[in-house]
């Protein structure tokens, strides 16, 4: 009897021991829920194990983090939330707040990458209200933000101009030189390779600037470092514009939002500067010393002698009608040569445009027509028809000119004195007239011929009138006889 009762008790106790546990009893599992029932894995731009090997993402590109949550317990998790310090606040989005038992859930965070290494520990939490417990899991995650960038500045120094062409007295196109200094700086977090500088505004191809020791590029530019390249250009005078362009690459392959591999882009930087090259003389031209301006000598109308009268004062004409009178040349140094009329002009002091002698040197010259008897073969009309250029302003007369008395009005100028004749010379007037005719200009000769033609017409008319009268007188004399 006692054996049967012990067997009954054992059959009742064994099923109770096989049960997972009852609520309220210490040590109960509550359907297998516990700290090891929740797990989380994270991928960054399709790359797993980002905590150990964070993928490279270009700064400014999109970062996509996917959090995969797995609940291996038999109890539902409520109020599920993911916290990641490396993600902007509120960036993680989950489709629901409940993770069913033996279920999965994926939360996603999308944001823009920033520079530098961004590693953090993400944490997921959920509550089991029936057990009054909070279950959590963690995962290490991160990415590296690749920041590549260039900055370019330039400064122009204008040099002295130099001649680059032209002929004759050094007159050529003057080109100036300008030295352009480019400063390139790496403000990224990765080294830059093969940085080249060009300038389309000045016609410089990439790699033309000298970056030191004859190198045409900066082989390696560390983060935060700067390098200087220079270029010398020659341009004509004027305003010019420089447009510098720097290019290089950090040679870092990054990952896109869907896990694709992206090659390193070419980084560029631009700058500009405006400079002006002044216009200067290309060389010293042959300088001619400035002297007194001379006027062409006036030619006489009828038998005029070029050169005028040679006075003792130098280059002046003695008073009109003073030829052959001793001392009549003094005091007229201010009258330009050739201003006196030619032989046959009635009164050379009265020619239009010639100033009175009194206004020149103080020596009074008699008015027009006061002296100057007509030379045979000449006439007053020819002298009036001759245009006389106005004389240039005379220089200051010498002191001896003030003491010379004016020529007498009765003295007549038969033939003007030549350059080599003085007032006391006794050269016959015929010789002087022949010399004057030899030196006569074409215009003066033409005018003289016209005057002679007019005089010949008068003679012919007189002959035509006198010959009939003479014949009539002869006939009348014969009748009376």
Tokens encoding 401: 């000119």
Pairing of strands 133-146, 56-58: parallel
- Is pLDDT above 60 for 440? yes
The pLDDT value given to residue 469: 87
The band of 80, judged by pLDDT with boundaries at 50, 70 and 90, is: very high
Spell out the alpha helix ranges (H) of 378-419. Answer: 380-385
- Tokens found for residue 436: 């004057």
State the Cα–Cα distance between residues 259 and 297, nearest whole angstrom. Answer: 102
Q: Is the pLDDT of residue 118 over 80?
A: yes
Q: Is 274 exposed, middle or buried (0-12, 13-18, 19+ CB in 10 A)?
A: exposed
**Local structure of residue 401 (DSSP, 8 states):** G
Q: Is residue 322's pLDDT more than 50?
A: no
- What distance in Å separates the CA atoms of residue 157 and residue 135, rounded to the nearest whole number? 71
Residue 301 has pLDDT above 80, yes or no: no
Q: Which two tokens stand for residue 362?
A: 């103080």
The CA R_g of the chain, rounded to the nearest whole Å, is 61
With a pLDDT cut of 90, the percent of the chain lying above it is 44
Mean pLDDT, range 15-32, rounded to an integer: 44
Percent of the chain surpassing pLDDT 70? 56
Whether the pLDDT of residue 274 is over 90: the answer is yes
pLDDT score recorded for residue 451: 75
Q: Kindly report, residue by residue over 143-183, the tens digit of the pLDDT.
A: 999 999 999 999 999 986 655 444 434 445 578 899 999 99
- Domains, the chain, with CATH or none: 35-146 (2.60.40.10), 150-277 (2.60.40.10), 300-388+397-481 (no CATH)
DSSP 47: B
CB 43 within 8 A of CB 95: no
For range 2-22, the mean pLDDT: 51
What Å distances lie between residue 301 and 84, 375, 453, CA to CA?
118, 13, 15
* pLDDT band per the 50, 70, 90 thresholds, residue 481: low
Q: What is the DSSP track for 58-88?
A: ETTSEEEEEEEEEE-SSS-EEEEEEE-TTS-
| Contact (Cβ atoms closer than 8 angstroms) between residue 150 and residue 186 | yes
Q: What is the DSSP string of 359-384?
A: GTTS---PPTTSS-PPPTT--HHHHH
pLDDT at 427: 60
Distance CA 321, CA 348 (A): 8
Our measurement of the distance from residue 375's CA atom to the centroid of its chain's CA atoms, rounded to an integer in Å, reads 72
Rounded CA gap, 422 and 31, in Å? 153
* Average pLDDT of the residues of the chain: 72
Q: Greater confidence, 413 or 439?
A: 439
Tell me the CA distances in angstroms from 466 to 185, 365, 428, one per residue in order. Answer: 117, 44, 36
Q: Count CB neighbours of 186 within 10 A.
A: 26
Q: Count how many Cα atoms sit within 13 Å of the Cα of residue 50 in the half-sphere of its side chain.
A: 31
- What's the whole-number mean pLDDT along residues 457-479? 85
- Residue where the block lists tokens 């220089």: 395
| pLDDT the model gives residue 281 | 53
The residue-averaged pLDDT of 84-91 equals 93
Which residues are CB-contacts of 220 (< 8 A; sequence separation ≥ 6)?
Answer: 191, 192, 193
Q: Which of 16-20, 49-53, 212-216 has the highest mean pLDDT?
A: 49-53
**CB neighbourhood size of 108 (10 A):** 14
Specify the pLDDT at position 160: 67
Answer yes or no: is pLDDT of 293 > 50. Answer: no
Please give the average per-residue pLDDT across 81-98, as a whole number. Answer: 93
Count CB neighbours of 410 within 10 A. Answer: 11
Query: 209-251: per-residue pLDDT in tens?
Result: 999 888 999 999 999 999 999 999 999 999 999 999 999 999 9
Listing DSSP states for 452-480 in one string gives HHHHHHHHHHHHHHHHHHHHHHHHHHHHH
Supply the pLDDT for residue 175.
86
Note whether 78 and 128 are within 8 A (CB): yes
Q: Across the chain, how many H-helices and E-strands are there?
A: 4, 19
Q: What per-residue confidence (pLDDT) applies to 186?
A: 97
Residue 203 has pLDDT above 90, yes or no: yes
Each residue of 351-400: pLDDT tens digit?
344 444 444 334 344 444 433 333 344 444 333 444 445 555 555 554 44
Neighbouring residues of 116: CB distance < 8 A, sequence distance ≥ 6: 144, 145, 147, 189
């Amino acid at each position: 009897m006692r054996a049967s009762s012990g067997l009954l008790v054992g059959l009742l106790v064994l099923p109770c021991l096989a049960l997972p546990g009852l609520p309220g009893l210490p040590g109960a599992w509550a359907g297998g829920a516990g700290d090891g029932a929740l797990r989380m894995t994270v991928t960054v731009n399709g790359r797993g194990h980002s905590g150990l090997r964070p993928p490279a993402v270009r700064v400014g590109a999109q970062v996509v983090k996917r959090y995969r949550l797995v609940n291996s317990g038999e109890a539902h998790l409520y109020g599920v939330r993911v916290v990641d310090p490396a993600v902007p606040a509120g960036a993680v989005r989950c489709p629901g707040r409940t993770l069913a038992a033996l279920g999965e859930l994926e939360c996603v965070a999308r944001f823009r990458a920033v520079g530098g290494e961004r590693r953090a520990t993400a944490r997921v939490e959920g509550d089991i209200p029936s057990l009054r417990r909070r279950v959590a899991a963690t995962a290490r995650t991160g990415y590296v933000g690749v920041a590549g960038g260039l900055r370019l500045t330039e400064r122009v120094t204008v040099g002295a101009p130099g001649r680059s062409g032209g002929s004759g007295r050094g007159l050529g196109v003057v080109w100036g030189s300008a030295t352009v200094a480019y400063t390139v700086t790496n403000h990224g977090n990765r080294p830059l390779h093969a940085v080249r500088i060009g300038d389309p505004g000045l016609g410089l191809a990439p790699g033309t600037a000298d970056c030191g020791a004859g190198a045409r590029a900066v082989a390696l530019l560390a983060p935060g470092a700067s390098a200087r390249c220079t270029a010398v250009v020659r341009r004509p005078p004027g305003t010019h514009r420089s447009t510098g362009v720097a290019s290089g690459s950090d040679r870092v392959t990054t990952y896109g939002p869907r896990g694709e591999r992206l090659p390193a882009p070419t980084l560029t930087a631009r700058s500009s500067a405006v400079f002006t090259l002044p216009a200067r003389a290309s060389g010293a031209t042959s300088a001619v010393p400035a002297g007194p301006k001379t006027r062409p000598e006036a030619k006489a109308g009828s038998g005029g002698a070029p050169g005028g009268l040679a006075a003792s004062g130098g280059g002046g004409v003695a008073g009109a009608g003073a030829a052959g009178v001793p001392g009549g040349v003094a005091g007229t140094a201010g009258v330009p040569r050739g201003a006196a009329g030619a032989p046959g002009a009635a009164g050379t002091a009265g020619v239009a445009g010639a100033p009175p002698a009194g206004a020149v040197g103080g020596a009074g010259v008699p008015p027009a027509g006061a002296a100057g008897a007509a030379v045979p073969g000449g006439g007053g009309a020819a002298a009036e028809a001759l245009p006389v250029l106005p004389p240039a302003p005379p220089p200051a007369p010498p002191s001896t000119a003030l003491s010379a008395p004016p020529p007498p009005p009765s003295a007549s100028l038969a033939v003007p004195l030549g350059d080599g004749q003085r007032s006391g010379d006794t050269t016959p007037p015929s010789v002087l007239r022949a010399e004057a005719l030899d030196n006569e200009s074409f215009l003066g000769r033409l005018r003289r011929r016209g005057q002679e033609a007019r005089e010949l017409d008068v003679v012919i008319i007189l002959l035509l009138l006198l010959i009939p009268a003479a014949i009539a007188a002869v006939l009348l004399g014969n009748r009376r006889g």
